[in-house]
Structure 1
């Protein structure tokens, strides 16, 4: 079943069903021998993000359940973050060099890639397997609770507050970025926009044609901001220990490519965010409430 609330489905039934489906998929991915460890980590961390997005949508109606389960999924994802980061940096390097393939002499940066590959190989495979085993146990335990989560409200009222809060925070972070586009401010904008993206995906059945387009643009925005953040982290890693990665000239040239690429990504992302976050939280909630009501007739 897709990550969305079905037409005619009660809010509480949707919450429980979607949570259990995502947890079951995460358990299955840990158990899938055909996935390599890095793909497994990538997939199950995505499950945690979706589950946290789901919880945020229902947040005011969940009460203390939100606080407990949000921490559970947050910590579960964090336990695998070092594994994800090592693979992500290598992918970021390859993506950057692919983008500038016609402008750079790739062999000049070979020492950088060798170092990144070596760091990835140094990850303790046994420790990774143990962390995935612990992750699986957390998901199994949480699924038992998810099947009986209860809401204090019903219908659209059960999600209105969470929808507005998450969307409002995204708008606030956009204001911060416009004032001072630091790495951290851009990262916070991406996180809030991604949660809003999950909410639009969940609500897509209330007007598929309209919300599918909006969800697609939010996905594009998340990718732009995600690429920007990965490049910033990569730059910081290389600059903090340049002797490990290569000559000063090579590092300087690499940083120049990163800075150029980040500027272009931000020039695309920030105006797009402005268009996608143009409504006030109240306007957005009222519009989606209308779609919800019509879809239930």
Structure 2
């Protein structure tokens, strides 16, 4: 089962099956992928689980929702520093591909080398604590046994509509905040809201595949713009820290200029895409989604 509802199944069955599959996917990643790929995949699955819980938040109740959301949020944070180092390296490779022809050959190498050494050291620390072999599997097993029996009793697909409206409305507000006050924090907040909406459209694709596949692709592209921009900002913060040592101050200045240039491009693209996606009121958007689900589910 992929990360989407099967409209031939009751809503409650969909929720439990998808939650179980995402947890099982975490175990498979630990067993089959290299540790950095596994961490990335597991963190994405945690976000999907949180988005799934958010979708039925009103049905399961606030206390149950918070327990699930906080559990996977905090567990994801425990591996976020290691993931960030890999993301820094990936971002530098993107910048090298985009701007490398205008720079000397080894421009990015000193930074990547330092990040790889720091990542190796951190990975070894995790392994010395049996984090990947014992601690994380135990936490996943607890989630598998106790945290995916979600109290969702209604099989009426319409129970998801309050969450859809909240997510869309908060995304609109975050879009406006980002360009009225373009801080890293505001863009990161908008990115989170966009990803929630993206996950919701993934789950609803069977409602009307041709429509939702197109909408999902557009929201996914917006999420990528904002995700890449966020990676740039986190990398910029890392470069300004004492962790990275560069002999030539101009090296850092040029890195900052490259980051700013690419960030401006991404934010410009995101603005146009965002304005299109958030063009209608949250009430109208929710009513439209509700009509589609009413026609094709009930």
TM-score of the two chains, using structure 2 as the length reference: 0.94
The equivalent residue for 1:90 is: 89
TM-aligned CA deviation for residue 72 of structure 1: 0.8
Query: Is 1:70 the counterpart of 2:57 in the alignment?
Result: no
CA distance in 2, matches of 1:131, 1:275: 44
Q: Which residue of 2 aligns with 1:99?
A: 98
Change (3 A) 1:152 1:282: farther
Does the 8 Å CA contact 1:242/1:251 hold for their aligned counterparts? Answer: no
Q: How many residues are matched?
A: 295
Q: Which runs of 5+ in 1 are unaligned?
A: none
Tell whether 2:52 aligns with 1:51. no
- What are the Cα deviations for residues 215-265 of structure 1, in whole angstroms up to 9, with x where unaligned? 011111111111111111111211233871331011111111111110011
Q: 1:17 to 1:281 in 2, by over 3 A?
A: same
User: Closer, same or farther in 2 for the Cα pair 1:5/1:124, shift >3 Å?
Assistant: closer
Structure 1 residue 147 displacement after superposition? 4.9
Distance in 1 (CA, whole Å) between partners of 2:203 and 2:97 is: 34
Partner of 1:230: 231
- Is the CA contact 1:197–1:215 (under 8 Å) kept in the aligned structure 2? yes
Residue correspondence of structure 1 range 1-297 to structure 2 within 5 A = 1-32=1-32, 35-63=33-61, 64-125=63-124, 127-128=126-127, 130-132=130-132, 133-151=134-152, 153-241=154-242, 244-296=245-297
Q: Is the 8 A contact 2:158 2:294 kept in 1?
A: no
> Does the 8 A contact of 1:187 with 1:229 survive in 2?
yes
Can you list the C-alpha shifts for 1:241-290, whole angstroms capped at 9, x where unaligned? 38713310111111111111100111101110111111222212211111
Aligned with 1:245: secondary structure?
A: coil
Q: Which 4+ runs in 1 deviate beyond 4 A?
A: none
Pairwise CA distance, 1:169: 1.2
Q: Give the direction of change, closer, same or farther, for the CA distance of 1:106–1:208 in structure 2 (3 Å limit).
A: same
SS in 2 for 1:9: coil
In the TM superposition, what whole-angstrom CA distance separates every residue of 1:149-172 from its partner, at most 9, and x where no partner exists? 222544123211111111111111
Q: Is the 8 A contact 1:56 1:166 kept in 2?
A: no
Q: Give the Cα–Cα distance (whole angstroms) in 1 for the partners of residues 81 and 296 of structure 2.
A: 43
Find the aligned partners of 1:161 and 1:112 in 2 and give their Cα distance.
46
Counterpart secondary structure, 1:287: helix
2: CA distance, partners of 1:235 / 1:296: 47
When the two chains are superposed, the root-mean-square deviation of aligned CA atoms in Å is 1.7
Aligned counterparts of 1:296 and 1:112: Cα–Cα separation in 2: 52
Q: Which moved more, 1:234-243 or 1:154-163?
A: 234-243
| Cα distance in structure 2, aligned partners of 1:245 and 1:140 | 44
